Chains A and B, each alone.
Chain A
Amino acid sequence: MECYNCGAKLGKGNICPNCGINVKTYKRIMRASNACYNDALAKAEVRDLSGAAESLRTSLKFNKLNTDARNLLGLIYFEMGEVVEALTEWVISKNYQPGDNRAGHYLDEVQNNRASLESINQTIKKYNQALLYCKQDSRDLAIIQLKKVVALNPKLVRGHQLLALLYIQEGKYELAKKALRNAGKIDSNNTITLRYLKEVNSKMRESNPKKNKNEELISYRSGNETIIQPKYLKDNSAVGTIVNMVIGIVIGVAITWFLLVPGVRRQVQNEAKAEVLAANDTISSKNQNISSLEAQVDELTKQVSAAKGDEESAKNQISSYDQLVQAYAAYSEENIEAAGTALGNVNEEYLSDEAKLIYDTINAKVNAEYITALYQEGYSAYNAQNFEEAIPKLEKVVELDETFEDGYAIYYLAQALRKNNDLETAKTYYQKIVELYPGTERAANAQNYLNIEE
């Protein structure tokens, strides 16, 4: 210790050996300063930074030359995020004691890390801006700004405290508590932090009255979540897991059965119906096609038939003309029988008008002679009891002219048939005689024969 008057080294006595001044009070002041420094040291060790800072300021008020106190104060300011205050103390300390001073080392450390210093400077500017927002009643902007500040400079106790104050004002007590906890980690016994924390806890108890104070709860953080559970929570994880799984499976099956299955069935049914409808539509269209094709087939068949008919007709026409020519040729050679036969094969329908004229002419002439000749032959054969020969000739005559020889052709034909034991055919001819020549002998005989046969 040195004398405050002359700077001479002091002994144990209360008088300066050099200038003779009373140094008793001075020594007490020095001891007070040192005591405060020791107190600050103890507080700093338990992270009561604000308490330590207060003690150190008191220490320096007693003795501004207490280098250790000033250096420690700078350190505490630095730890609380107040960098400029820290630099101030260290610069003053270095100024008072240029040599053998720890402050020089601290200043060198800061100057060598300019980027970090600049970053901290920016956070201080943001903090001041946030404070301005608060005073302008722009609390939302202030909160946004302060979140950035504490993210960049997590040691800034005032930043956490101001943020907590804003959250308390907004009623967000959980967030306020979180901010205050962060502040408490840096400066554990800070009065402002403790006061705010008390307010927050009181508010949180008010909003959750069911919460029993005596309830033993433990809370812990898991990632971003805070988990609070009773202390004596028994967690039979294995049994509980199995029971929960079974319950979950049962619920899942029930949901599937009652909700999902009907829906799926309905959907399947709808799909099936749609497919059936589509199939029916296809069948319907196919049926229509089939009908259409069948109609075409019918049409074509008709055309073919018509064509065949036409062909047949053409053939018959050709044949008729051929027979007509043969008939004409036979007639020219006076072969009446051949001409008659040929004329019998002619179909008048296929002849043109001119051909018909020729046919009629030949036919008339031939028929007359033919039929006469045929009748003679038939009659001769009848008379000769040659009924087998007579019948076809007389049938031809009757076919050409039923009334030939005044009905005798038909009469002799009926007789020939009767005598030839073809009674049924004979009956038809007898009946014709009765009808065509009533009152004649032939009709009477025919009637007799008809009565006998019945």
Chain B
Amino acid sequence: MFLCKEEEKKMINFEEELKNFKPSLEVEEAEQAIYNHELTDMTDVLREIMREAKKND
């Protein structure tokens, strides 16, 4: 894509930067956000690894 000279000089690309901005959660969406929250941590991974290891044994 050919950019005009002015745009080339810019370090910040407006369209690209805009993609980084996501909508904020509204209060009504809090419940769903809690349900969708990723709660797997390293301990869960470790437990899973141990379970797999025991199964293979």
Contacts and interface: CB of A to CB of B under 8 A. Distances in A.
Contacts of A135: 18
Interface residues of A, number: 44
Nearest to B49: A25
A65 B47 CA distance: 14
Interface string A74-98: 0000000011110110011000000
Interface in B4-57: 10-12, 14, 17-18, 20-21, 23-27, 29-30, 33-34, 37, 39-44, 46-47, 50
A392 to B, nearest CB: 143
A162 B14 CA distance: 10
Interface stretch (A181-189, A190-198, A359-367, A425-433): A190-198
A60 B41 contact: yes
A125 B24 CA distance: 8
Given A88-B33, A131-B21, A124 B26 contact: yes
Interface residues of B, number: 27
Given A84-B30, A92-B39, A199-B11, A26 B46 contact: yes
A92 B46 contact: no
Most chain B Cβ neighbours within 10 Å, of A84, A91, A165 = A84
A158 B18 CA distance: 11
Contacts of B10: 199
B24 A158 contact: yes
A124 B23 CA distance: 8
Contacts of B18: 131, 134-135, 165
A38 interface: no
A376 interface: no
Given A25-B46, A169-B14, A195-B12, A92 B26 contact: no
Nearest to B41: A64
A88 B12 contact: no
Nearest to A125: B26
Binding site of A, secondary structure by majority: helix, strand, loop or mixed? helix
A200 to B, nearest CB: 9
B47 A4 contact: yes
B21 A92 contact: no
Given A88-B37, A165-B14, A21 B50 contact: yes
A84 B26 contact: yes
A61 interface: yes
B34 A88 contact: yes
Interface string A48-64: 00000000000011111
A84 B29 contact: yes
A165 B12 contact: yes
Given A4-B47, A21-B50, A165-B17, A128 B23 contact: yes
Contact of B50 (A5, A64, A161): A5
B12 A168 contact: yes
30 contacts: A4-B47, A21-B50, A25-B46, A26-B43, A29-B42, A29-B43, A33-B42, A62-B42, A63-B42, A82-B24, A82-B25, A84-B24, A84-B29, A85-B25, A85-B33, A87-B27, A88-B30, A92-B34, A92-B37, A121-B26, A121-B27, A124-B24, A124-B25, A124-B27, A125-B26, A127-B24, A131-B18, A168-B14, A196-B12, A199-B10
Interface of B: 10-12, 14, 17-18, 20-21, 23-27, 29-30, 33-34, 37, 39-44, 46-47, 50
Given A4-B47, A196-B12, 13 more contacts: A4-B43, A29-B43, A33-B42, A64-B40, A65-B41, A84-B29, A88-B30, A92-B39, A124-B25, A124-B27, A127-B23, A128-B26, A134-B18
Q: Which 8 A-B pairs give the minimum distances between C-beta atoms? A: A84-B25, A64-B41, A128-B23, A121-B27, A29-B42, A124-B24, A169-B14, A62-B42
